[in-house]
């Protein structure tokens, strides 16, 4: 059996992402000891039932004791409090990483409170489903997806390499970029799409009772795909929009301008503008298929 990457891994927040990572560790590094930490007793009970951790606790400080890797996988709004609570218990040389969708906010919440004796490697595995909780996780979720690490100038390269090795073990491709660049890219590829999906599904649910059962029945015409995205975890996504506010609002402005232009073309019956636009958007789909991200 090859050496495990880590001896003792503390996973703080054991939902979809955290539990999927625990399953990867169980599969590929079975000798690694996994400590799962969650606030709610029913989450910890589910983790025990699933057998994806060796120890469970609701105390982040206790969870990180003697851990050589700490993975923070809670919603972003919990980061500052968790950082404050785990800081005194981190062992010398412990690596702390996270999986949050907004790296500027993750760094703002954790960087100042974590002690110098620990190595903080901000990270974001770009993978997931619309389901939440430890039952929803699965080891293959990360396969062939990208993980973005946004190390700080002072982050030790060895620590970055070990976190990269962890996600590569999970099947991911790993890229490194500046935190603010990450937040701009993800605003396009993830945050705006979620906001739009949440909006349109909300619009449709307010159309009155009689129309609503028909909206459900005939959802296969396109609406269905939006409902999948709009079923994602409400707390996680509230935090994303509150913490990546500037990038999301800037993009939203562009989106609204474009939507108004198409609305105007529809009202004026200008088919050429519509046709040209719809032809251009078709091309980007081909790029995604070629990049094997379809």
What's the half-sphere exposure (Cβ side, CA atoms, 13 Å) at 65? 7
Closest CA to 130 of 214, 198, 222: 198
Q: In whole angstroms, how close is the CB of 287 to a second copy at the nearest point?
A: 5
Q: CB within 8 A of 85, min separation 6: which ones?
A: 59, 60, 61
Q: From residue 254 to residue 283, what is the string marking binding to a second copy with x (rule CB under 8 A)?
A: xxx-xx--xx--xx-x-x--xx-xxxxxxx
The smaller minimum CB distance to a second copy, of residues 4 and 235, is found at 235
Count the residues of the shown chain that bind a second copy, applying the rule CB under 8 A. Answer: 93
Q: From residue 149 to residue 178, what is the string marking binding to a second copy with x (rule CB under 8 A)?
A: --------------------------x---
Sheet holding 55-57, edge to edge: 55-57, 33-37, 8-12, 69-72, 95-98, 119-121
The smaller minimum CB distance to a second copy, of residues 31 and 263, is found at 263
Choices 11-19, 57-65, 115-123, 180-188; region in contact with a second copy by CB under 8 A: 180-188
285 token code pair: 């789909």
Q: In whole angstroms, how close is the CB of 149 to a second copy at the nearest point?
A: 13
Is residue 9 within 8 Å of residue 25, measured between CB atoms? yes
Site for a second copy contains 204 (CB under 8 A): yes
Please list the alpha-helical segments (H only) found in the chain: 16-28, 41-50, 60-64, 79-86, 103-110, 157-169, 179-186, 192-205, 209-217, 223-229, 234-243, 245-268, 271-290
Is residue 101 within 8 Å of residue 42, measured between CB atoms? no
Please count the other Cβ atoms lying within 10 Å of the Cβ belonging to residue 136.
Answer: 17
Q: In whole angstroms, how close is the CB of 267 to a second copy at the nearest point?
A: 6
Site for a second copy contains 238 (CB under 8 A): yes
Q: Which of 70, 126, 149, 174 binds a second copy (CB under 8 A)?
A: 126
Q: What angle do CA 43, 120, 65 make, to 5 degrees?
A: 50
Q: Which of residues 66-95 bind a second copy (CB under 8 A)?
A: 77
Q: Which of 48, 68, 130, 180 binds a second copy (CB under 8 A)?
A: 130
Is residue 101 within 8 Å of residue 76, measured between CB atoms? yes
The owner of tokens 């449709």 is 204
Q: Which of residues 31-50 bind a second copy (CB under 8 A)?
A: none
The smaller minimum CB distance to a second copy, of residues 59 and 246, is found at 246
Site for a second copy contains 226 (CB under 8 A): yes
Q: Which of 44, 148, 160, 163 binds a second copy (CB under 8 A)?
A: 148
Site for a second copy contains 3 (CB under 8 A): no
Choices 56-64, 82-90, 151-159, 182-190; region in contact with a second copy by CB under 8 A: 182-190
């Amino acid at each position: 059996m090859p050496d495990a990457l880590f001896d003792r891994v503390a996973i703080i927040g054991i939902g979809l992402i955290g539990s999927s990572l625990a399953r990867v560790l169980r599969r590929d590094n079975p000798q690694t000891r996994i400590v799962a930490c969650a606030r709610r007793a029913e989450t910890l009970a589910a983790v025990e039932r699933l057998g994806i951790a060796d120890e469970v606790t609701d105390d982040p400080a206790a969870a990180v004791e003697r851990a050589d890797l700490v993975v923070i996988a809670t919603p972003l709004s919990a980061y500052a409090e968790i950082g404050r609570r785990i800081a005194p218990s981190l062992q010398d040389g412990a690596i702390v990483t996270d999986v949050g969708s907004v790296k500027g906010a993750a760094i703002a919440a954790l960087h100042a409170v974590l002690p110098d004796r620990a190595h903080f490697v901000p990270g974001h595995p770009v993978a997931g489903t619309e389901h939440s909780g430890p039952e929803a996780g699965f080891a293959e979720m990360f396969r062939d997806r990208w993980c973005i690490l946004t190390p700080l100038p002072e982050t030790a390269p060895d620590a970055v390499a070990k976190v990269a090795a962890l996600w590569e073990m999970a099947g991911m491709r790993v890229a490194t970029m500046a935190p603010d660049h990450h937040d701009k890219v993800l605003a396009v590829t993830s945050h705006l799409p979620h906001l739009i999906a949440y909006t349109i599904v909300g619009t449709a649910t307010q159309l009155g009772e009689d129309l609503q059962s028909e909206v459900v029945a005939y959802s296969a015409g396109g609406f269905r795909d939006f409902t999948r995205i709009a079923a994602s975890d409400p707390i996680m996504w509230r935090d994303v929009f509150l913490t990546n506010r500037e990038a999301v609002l800037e993009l939203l402005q562009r989106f609204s301008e474009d939507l108004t232009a198409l609305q105007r073309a529809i009202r004026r019956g200008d088919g050429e503008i519509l046709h040209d636009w719809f032809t251009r958007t078709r091309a980007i789909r081909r790029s995604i298929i070629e990049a094997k991200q379809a």
